[in-house]
Amino acid sequence: MAEALPSTALFLLALSSMTMNRFLTFGLIILIAGCSEQLIQEKHEGMIDVPGGQIFYEMSNPNAAGTPLLLIHGGPGSTSCYFGLLDNLITDRPVIRYDQLDTGKSDRPGDRSRWVLSHFVEEIEAIRAALDLKELHILGSSWGGTVAAEYGLVGNTNGLQSIILAGPLLSTPKWMDDAQILVSQMPLDLQNVIRTHEAAGTYLDPAYIAATDSFYARFLYHQPKKDVPECEGVEGNSEMYNYMWGPTEFTATGTLLDYDRTDRLHELGMPVLLIAGEFDEARPATMEEFSNLIPNSEVQILPDAGHVGMVDKPGEYATFVNTYLAKIESQQ
């Protein structure tokens, strides 16, 4: 921006016939273009070697002074692109988002032997090594909370200042119980459609799909869905989701069927924040139960939001994150 202004300013001065309004308009365009260039310069992206291939990452605010924040997306099989809504809301620290192997912009070897929790923990270790993240915070959303909690239990916690678990899956049985509670809050006709087709396994029936969409409109995105420019052309991996979770939101049949870490949550020795939307699939009451099992933890509820809080209420979500991280760092 500093190099563009002088030459453009000389050009404008030479055009003496222009009105002052046009001069101001050109000046505004220059400032906007310059600021856009600066924003672009404050991000970089690349690929990191992990077991089985390379994964895509993007870092915002690479020169900011705060302790870096690593964002872990949901799924299994979703992508990190929706975290783009936080780019201009968390600016006091480097913020790293990445796509797990076999999804988003990362390599897609399709090796199901790597679709296990231990592999996704290894990805965090690889990211820390590649980006030299000696100190960091981790935020995991939904399935990303599963990965973040597992890293807190079995990973290298040296320098891990805190973990934020946003609507995390920490117990498959508990998740399925919560799903049934939420289904029971829907209109009776939709309840019957969901339960009938769940029992029959007819997940592609149009009535079942419509009822599932109605569930999502209440508990996944509680607000009208937003366009996320970073997600344009970025695809998830439904095969991974079906393999690890199952073909239906309400009943797990995949490799995560027996997953449950509630008996180990007391081992998390770092500060932990649990976030849930007021209408989250990961019910606020369940987050309180988890918090009671984690020694140094607290819960924040995002009003009028569903499971994907950073999409429903990005500003308020970022405020929760910024406030918590500032508090943790003030105690270091």
CA distance 228 to 249: 23
- Strand, coil or helix: 47: strand
Contacts of 49 (CB under 8 A, 6+ apart): 126, 130
Residue 67 burial (10 A CB sphere; 0-12, 13-18, 19+): buried
Asked whether the beta carbons of 182 and 215 are under 8 A apart, the reply is yes
Task: Report CA Rg, the chain.
Answer: 22
Catalytic residue among 87, 102, 178, 280: 280
Q: How many CA atoms lie within 13 A of 314 on its CB side?
A: 15
Catalytic residue among 162, 297, 307, 312: 307
Contacts of 124 (CB under 8 A, 6+ apart): 70, 72, 138, 147, 151, 155
Known active-site residue 60: no
Phi first, then psi, for residue 256 (nearest 5°) are: -90, 10
CA distance 20 to 52: 60
Known active-site residue 92: no
Strand partners, 137: 69, 162
SS (H, E, C) 113-182: HHCCHHHHHHHHHHHHHHHCCCCEEEEEECHHHHHHHHHHHHCCCCCEEEEEEECCCCEHHHHHHHHHHH
CA distance 176 to 17: 71
User: Angle 206-219/172-183 helices, nearest 10 degrees?
Assistant: 100
Known active-site residue 184: no
Catalytic residue among 142, 162, 171, 297: 142
Asked whether the beta carbons of 123 and 50 are under 8 A apart, the reply is yes
Which residues are tagged catalytic? 142, 280, 307
